[in-house]
Structure 1
Amino acid sequence: MGLLSGDAAVTGRGRAVPGGRLGPARDRRVQPEASAPGSRISTMVLKVFFPSCCSSADSGLLIGRWIPEQNSAVILAVVHFPFIPFQVKQYLSEVQKVSQIETVVLGTWCNNKQEKEESLGKFLDDLSTIFSHEPWLQLSKEKGSKFWNCHILSRKAGSPREDQIILIYYDQRKTMLSQLHPPEISLDTQPGVITAPDASKLAAVFDTVAKNEVLFLTDRYDEGPIKLSHWQSEGVEASIIVELAKQASVPVCMLLTCLLSLVSGLCRNRILKFWPLSFVWSKLSTCEQVGYRLEHLRFVFSNQKAKNHTQFMRKANIFVSLLLDMALGIMLLSWLYRKNQIGQLAEALIPVADHVARELQDLLQWLMGVPAGLKMNRALDQVLGRFFLYHIHLWISYIHLLSPFIEMILWYVGLSACLGVTVVLSILSDILALLTFHIYCFYVYGARLYCLKIYGLSSLWRLFRGKKWNVLRQRVDSCSYDLDQLFIGTLLFTILLFLLPTTALYYLVFTLLRLLVVFVQGLIHLLVDLIDSLPFYSIGLRLCRSYRLAAGVKFRVLEQEVGRPLRLLMQINPLSYSSVVQTYRLPTHSCYPKDSWGSLCKKLFFGELIYPWKQKEDKQD
């Protein structure tokens, strides 16, 4: 039967209804996922969606949309007496041009709460000859009774009886503001769910109410020939402050757009595209984050209006993300400049650098001895150890040379917090990379030396087996070697094999140190990614106004009596928080691991350099 079919109609207390049955008192969630087994479709059942705000409206005309393929009528408003039929038709034609939806007079509404309205019954019956909609609805509310009457006037044979009508109340404001999301495909076959094709039918009801927003701008107290009742019948909910803010936002957005265009033009200067500035721009996380935020600002403050719901939600999520980012940055800025926190950080930096240098020197002295009882090649061990000790000495001398300027550098870094906490975190990641640059150098030296020996051993191993690597065809081919070649190959293989443990130990130690630094940087990038990509506006909307993001609807039985229309209440089923995050998550420039764990371990084993974070050109939109 369309939105409600067969046994999967609704649940509640009461006796059976035609075309379905009622179970225990509980709500049935209506989700267009899978079809209920054994569901029956009754083409004679008529569904009338009635706005709950119009239940106390004065008698008049019911205007809305008739959906023939669903045998449903979506009522949008009630036109009050007095009115002129020609003016009503003219008004509905104007509404139809704006909404692009056929809005017609569906029938009459009679509220018998006043004695004077009882005399309107005959006049209401005669209106069917003027507007001549097929079928013609006659809704009435009896005085002193909770029951409703609904009659159908139809020229066709077999029009539905009153007990074959389902009267569905819906909240007009919530339905208009809601965005219905298509649910995921599910294999759930339990009773109480709508078939998959009915997803479009449910969306047609939401779409009808949303596209007729122009209809709700007419107030019942406005001067004009048409008096309407709808969810804004007591006055259009608009504030003069909101309207002034909308008008003032236009020049502000234009000014900010010009400033952002100027900054973007400076960033695209040809001077920045030359080598070494282009290299620095592509490698520093701060530059990438600033460029990413500039793109967000240009998108938010652009003069173009959002074309659809997705674009509006993206703009709103970016705007809230920017506000939260700057708010956290200002809080961090106030903490840094309170009680001279920057001076304390600058004073603590040099002792920490000295402590790290001493620890590295102790580690190298341990490796130059007999580490864990392993017998190393003493000559190579001493050469490598002194080489790395000399690098540590150069690095600590460089740190002490910069010590008078560290506080000033940190002071200017703290000022960048006004741009957002993500900018500060990106600067922190770059500072960590610069402070641990000697560890990176140790890792590169060890990895290159280890990789050279691994590939040398693999090539010499192919020599023993009479094989060689064909560079042109990229494959291993057979090859014959003479005695001198075999002798030199055996000699080199023996040398590389006995030197491999010493090199592998240094490579292992410095690789672990490098991975520790990368792990800390990964945590910082992950925090930046969360602030940049989480849809805070959508999450707040789901928390405060859950009906705005709808995953479906559920129906609750309000009233059922034999010979009377079945009255249901349609309630919006909100989207889950996980679906909100998955649907509205913002794209980021952030770095993610390029390789799987298997390929990463393979690279570590063969000594290939690990760059686990994507570069700027690898970002995904």
Structure 2
Amino acid sequence: MVLKAFFPTCCTLADSGLLVGRWIPEQSSAVVLAVVHFPFIPIQVKELLAQVQQASQVGLVVLGTWCHHKQEPEESLGHFLEGLGTIFSHEPWLQLCWEKGSKFWSCKATHQQSSTIPGVPIEDHVMLIFYDQRKVLLSYLHPPTVLPDCQAGDATASAEGLAAIFDTVSRSEALFCKNQFDEDPVRLSHWQSEGLEASILVELAKKASGPVCLLVACLLSLVSAASACRLWKLWPLPFIASKFSTCEQLRHRFEHLTLVFSTQKARGPAQLMRFGQGSFKGRPTCWSLCSWMWPLASHCCPGSIAVTELGNLLTPSSPWLTNPCPPHPHVMSLQHVAEELQHLLQWLMGAPAGLKMNRALDQVLGRFFLYHIHLWISYIHLMSPFIERILWHVGLSACLGLTVALSILSDILALLTFHIYCFYVYGARLYCLKIYGLSSLWRLFRGKKWNVLRQRVDSCSYDLDQLFVGTLLFTILIFLLPTTALYYLVFTLLRLLVVTVQGLIHLLVDLINSLPLYSLGLRLCRPYRLAAGVKFRVLEHEAGRPLRLMMQINPLPYSNVVHTYRLPTCGCHPKHSWGSLCRKLFFGELIYPWKQKGDKQD
């Protein structure tokens, strides 16, 4: 029988003593967690194991002995090591030894009670596997994906074995947190026996992270209480807030910060790696600060750059600030867009592309839209003295993050193209009215009508007067349809152009919000933290000698990191399929392809 003994690399130079760990009978594996140094009192060792078992719920036992011949002579420990098997009875009893003057290890596993011959123990072959205890403790093993050419049962059994080993090390942190000073009754060797592996600044940051997180949590609770005031629920404030992307983005950012700085513990390592929320395995809330600083830095740096560029643009040395008479350049840009729309309407009021239009209807529609453009230009000139100050405050708000700046850009684009939206609504309503009128009159010619109660088309008989009026109306609508359809087509294309730009901005915002920057940072700086499995490297293999392997952690691929730890977004997604979108465009129904999270589907 071959037994697998997982031995930490940090204990290879430890003094001789006892091997403390957990025995996994299903895997025929022994996970060594620490070495108890000589000299010791057996009753104190048992009390220590009982305390750790009560704190971590891990069945720790004495697995065997460890002898370092480079530090202790073999003959001085021989009789004493043999007697320890009777004090700490465990089957099998491991005996690990580093032979003096040799690079080979001596590994034995004996069974005293299972021996058929009294006094002659049964020896099993031992496979010695070294592992980095610190990396295994800090890593999170992800469930493996079964490849098509692999057996599902083999993959599941291997995953269960690795999960048991990783779980044993991670849950035994109570053993590693024991103070290892000279006055302690039991001296241990493990990954943290030499002290905390961190600098003074890191330790001070961990100590200060708790009060900082509590302070931020209190501030967020005050903001939440202020936002819950009934004043903000009065109409039309909720309606306006639901239509602005900036409000949705601020609400999403507030929910994310509330979750990150929550005082509750993370529900598992997956939530800790995704949000860094709360604490896990007794670690301080410094994880919250780290997970929050990653997206904050990546979002606010581009926003700060935008603020700097805007400040340079609006410095007093700018030529348009020395003389208040010339209009603002942004006003000139908006006026140029309005003039282009006027040229487009004048082209439609003539003979666009050589088409023969209904002149009376064409003139009415053209003058109607030109009047709206005139109102829009007057509004822009009225707001021109305040545009500089508005742009400055908008630039300052970009410090809240890149996503907030993009949401503000989307809202500004929606406000500046509001006249195009009005033109689209007017043209769509008029076109839709004619389409539905023509479809109703077409049913009249076929002796059909729409049954409103049953929501279906039924047969109906019409008299001569009804048929004459229907034919007259149908003729009028069919001849006026090309003029209306042309205006509807032009303004629908302009509206779709604006919606496409807004949709790209929303998709970019969702992409930035969904990126797990903290998890990607862990994958880049500490690949072992996100483990996709392990691989074994042969260290020594010789006939008559135990096989020695090194267990190394396979990091999770970047694509799997993004897929596994993808963060929730504001939920701005396409509302219609391509088929329904084309159908609505053909029948002139209003289109809102981009919806917010709280909106209902049609």
Question: TM-score, normalised on structure 2?
Answer: 0.90
Q: Give the drift of 1:305.
A: 3.2
Within 5 Å, which residues of 2 pair with 1:126-145?
Answer: 126-145=83-102
Q: Unaligned regions of 5+ residues in structure 1, if any?
A: 1-43
Distance 1:599 1:358 in 2: 34
Within 5 Å, which residues of 2 pair with 1:218-297?
Answer: 218=178, 220-297=180-257
1:577 aligned residue (530, 555, 558): 558
Kept in 1: contact 2:15–2:71 (CA 8 A): no
Kept in 1: contact 2:274–2:519 (CA 8 A): no
The more displaced of 482-491 and 208-217 is: 482-491
Q: Give the drift of 1:208.
A: 0.4
- Report Cα offsets for 1:430-488 as digits up to 9, x if no partner: 11111100000011111111111122222222222222222222222222222222222
Distance 1:590 1:160 in 2: 64
Kept in 2: contact 1:110–1:121 (CA 8 A): no
2:539 aligned residue (558, 563, 582): 558
SS in 1 for 2:595: coil
SS in 1 for 2:350: coil
Correspondence 1:69 to 2:23: no
- Report Cα offsets for 1:203-234 as digits up to 9, x if no partner: 11100001111212235544211111112232
Q: Give the drift of 1:167.
A: 1.4
Q: Give the drift of 1:571.
A: 0.8
Q: Give the drift of 1:425.
A: 2.0
Distance 1:485 1:183 in 2: 73
Distance 2:292 2:239 in 1: 28
Q: Give the drift of 1:188.
A: 2.8
Amino acid at match of 2:448: K
1:525 aligned residue (506, 512, 532): 506
Kept in 2: contact 1:166–1:566 (CA 8 A): yes
2:525 aligned residue (544, 565, 588): 544
Residue 194 to residue 544, structure 1, CA distance change in 2 (3 Å)? farther
RMSD: 2.4
The more displaced of 217-226 and 437-446 is: 217-226
Q: Give the drift of 1:261.
A: 2.3
2:457 alignment counterpart: 476
The more displaced of 292-301 and 424-433 is: 292-301
2:139 aligned residue (174, 178, 189): 178
Distance 1:468 1:571 in 2: 76
1:368 alignment counterpart: 349
2:59 aligned residue (89, 98, 102): 102
Q: Give the drift of 1:509.
A: 0.9
The more displaced of 597-606 and 304-313 is: 304-313
- Report Cα offsets for 1:43-66 as digits up to 9, x if no partner: x32111111221222211111110
Kept in 1: contact 2:20–2:60 (CA 8 A): yes
Correspondence 1:49 to 2:49: no
Correspondence 1:116 to 2:90: no
Within 5 Å, which residues of 2 pair with 1:6-405?
Answer: 44-114=1-71, 116-154=73-111, 155-156=113-114, 164-189=125-150, 194-218=154-178, 220-316=180-276, 317-338=291-312, 340=314, 347-405=328-386
Q: Give the drift of 1:605.
A: 1.5
The more displaced of 475-484 and 173-182 is: 475-484
Distance 1:214 1:255 in 2: 29
Distance 1:250 1:609 in 2: 52
Distance 1:284 1:262 in 2: 23
Amino acid at match of 1:81: F
Amino acid at match of 1:250: G
Distance 1:165 1:293 in 2: 54
Within 5 Å, which residues of 2 pair with 1:436-455?
Answer: 436-455=417-436
Distance 1:523 1:85 in 2: 69
Aligned length: 575
SS in 1 for 2:156: coil
Residue 341 to residue 388, structure 1, CA distance change in 2 (3 Å)? farther
Kept in 2: contact 1:54–1:229 (CA 8 A): yes
The more displaced of 438-447 and 320-329 is: 320-329
SS in 2 for 1:137: strand
Q: Give the drift of 1:157.
A: 5.3
- Bigger relative contact order, structure 1 or 2 (CA pairs below 8 A, ≥6 apart): 1
Distance 2:440 2:146 in 1: 53
Amino acid at match of 2:114: K
Distance 1:187 1:534 in 2: 29
Kept in 2: contact 1:321–1:531 (CA 8 A): no
Q: Give the drift of 1:340.
A: 2.6
Q: Unaligned regions of 5+ residues in structure 2, if any?
A: 277-290, 322-326
Residue 559 to residue 251, structure 1, CA distance change in 2 (3 Å)? closer
Distance 1:216 1:301 in 2: 27
Kept in 2: contact 1:178–1:549 (CA 8 A): yes
Q: Give the drift of 1:406.
A: 0.8
Kept in 1: contact 2:18–2:37 (CA 8 A): yes
Amino acid at match of 1:85: P
Distance 2:588 2:147 in 1: 46
Distance 1:61 1:516 in 2: 74
Residue 195 to residue 521, structure 1, CA distance change in 2 (3 Å)? same
Q: Give the drift of 1:427.
A: 1.7
Kept in 2: contact 1:57–1:111 (CA 8 A): yes
Kept in 2: contact 1:451–1:608 (CA 8 A): yes
- Report Cα offsets for 1:65-107 as digits up to 9, x if no partner: 1011111111111111001111111101101111111011011
Distance 1:369 1:236 in 2: 82
2:410 aligned residue (426, 429, 446): 429
Kept in 2: contact 1:591–1:619 (CA 8 A): no
Residue 183 to residue 491, structure 1, CA distance change in 2 (3 Å)? farther
Distance 2:523 2:130 in 1: 23
Distance 1:463 1:222 in 2: 102
1:514 alignment counterpart: 495
Identity of aligned residues (%): 71
Distance 2:376 2:241 in 1: 24
Distance 1:66 1:256 in 2: 45
Distance 1:619 1:114 in 2: 74
Residue 245 to residue 543, structure 1, CA distance change in 2 (3 Å)? closer
Amino acid at match of 1:268: A
Amino acid at match of 1:269: C
SS in 1 for 2:149: coil
2:590 aligned residue (602, 609, 613): 609
Kept in 2: contact 1:219–1:236 (CA 8 A): no
Distance 2:122 2:585 in 1: 75
Kept in 1: contact 2:110–2:123 (CA 8 A): no
Amino acid at match of 1:183: P
Distance 1:234 1:245 in 2: 21
Residue 616 to residue 150, structure 1, CA distance change in 2 (3 Å)? closer
Q: Give the drift of 1:240.
A: 4.6
Q: Give the drift of 1:173.
A: 0.6
Q: Give the drift of 1:392.
A: 0.8
Amino acid at match of 1:64: G
- Report Cα offsets for 1:303-329 as digits up to 9, x if no partner: 333342133223334552234323332
Q: Give the drift of 1:243.
A: 4.1
Question: TM-score, normalised on structure 1?
Answer: 0.88
